[in-house]
Amino acid sequence: MLYIVGLGLGDERDITVRGLDAVRSCSKIYMEAYTSLLSLGLDPAALANLEKLYGKEITVADREMVEERVDQVLSEAADTDVAFLVVGDPFGATTHTDLVVRAKKMGVEVKVIHNASVMNAIGVCGLQLYRYGETISIPFFTDEWRPDSFYEKIQNNRQLGLHTLCLLDIRVKEPTWESLARGKKVYEPPRFMTVNTAISQLFEVEEARGGYAYRRETLCIGVARLGSDDQKIVAGPMEKLLDVDFGPPLHCLIIVGETHPLEEEMLEFYMIK
């Protein structure tokens, strides 16, 4: 059996009781460490806390390992109980559909244990989840690569009066271009996109496109460390959020659409002065 277990958004105590029981019953535990910079997985202390709670050792699986050794993991799961831990929900912002498809094709039974993800926990800022349009991802711009296909999606959402959740890039264990060219991988240091970088990239795209999908005054909400004890939520005009220090990762951004009175009442608590 392959258990795909969501860990939620905070620390080791955000696993569900069902998830904890499953993990404790497994003979092998993997944890994906490539879709989230959360303290989990990258911070040895957080990993130790997980291992202590489970009473088991965890193998941290980076992207390469998952891609290259997935068949090994799945054949282990054919013989015994294996847990694959995922920050957030197994089918949240980053989905693990490919793992499930492979497992099912190999005849390995899969059990999914859900948890909170950014896609629902973002409701905490007060905007109703059913008033969101398509979710977008904003990638780090580089000198050579400045993709802006998210622009039309924001535009569509805003024309419909809907909110836009922007997931911000994280780069964990990415090989540098130079090293790929030379054939021997050297990795970039891990980094995550801040709300500030996201907004300045958005301004750059608006300037280039000129479609008025949003303006400097458009109401936005910056969110950091969603679901953690020290989460930070600040609402205000886009240009004002540009100067707010949101602190450590992860960050995300919401471009607010049309609001209802109850949404506005809640946003008041987070509004920048």
Q: Which residues bind a second copy (CB under 8 A)?
A: 6, 8-10, 12-18, 20-21, 53, 89-93, 95, 97-98, 100-101, 104, 112, 114-117, 119-124, 126, 128-137, 156, 160, 162, 167, 227, 262-263, 265-266, 269
Least separation in angstroms between CB 182 and a second copy: 32
Task: Establish whether 9 is an annotated binding residue.
Answer: yes
Task: Establish whether 226 is an annotated binding residue.
Answer: yes
Q: Are 22 and 114 in contact (CB under 8 A)?
A: no
Task: Establish whether 6 is an annotated binding residue.
Answer: no
* Residue with Cβ nearer a second copy (137 or 196): 137
Least separation in angstroms between CB 232 and a second copy: 14
Tokens of 139: 């990638």
174 burial (CB, 10 Å; 0-12 / 13-18 / 19+) is: middle
How do 59-61 and 28-32 pair as beta strands?
parallel
Least separation in angstroms between CB 244 and a second copy: 21
Separation of alpha carbons 86 and 34, rounded Å? 10
For residue 91, the SS3 value is strand
Task: Establish whether 92 is an annotated binding residue.
Answer: yes
Least separation in angstroms between CB 103 and a second copy: 11
- Sequence-distant (6+) residues with CB within 8 A of 34 are 61, 62, 63, 66, 172, 173
Task: Establish whether 89 is an annotated binding residue.
Answer: yes
* Residue with Cβ nearer a second copy (71 or 243): 71
Separation of alpha carbons 36 and 242, rounded Å? 23
> Known binding site for S-adenosyl-L-methionine: residues?
9, 89, 92, 117-118, 168, 226, 251
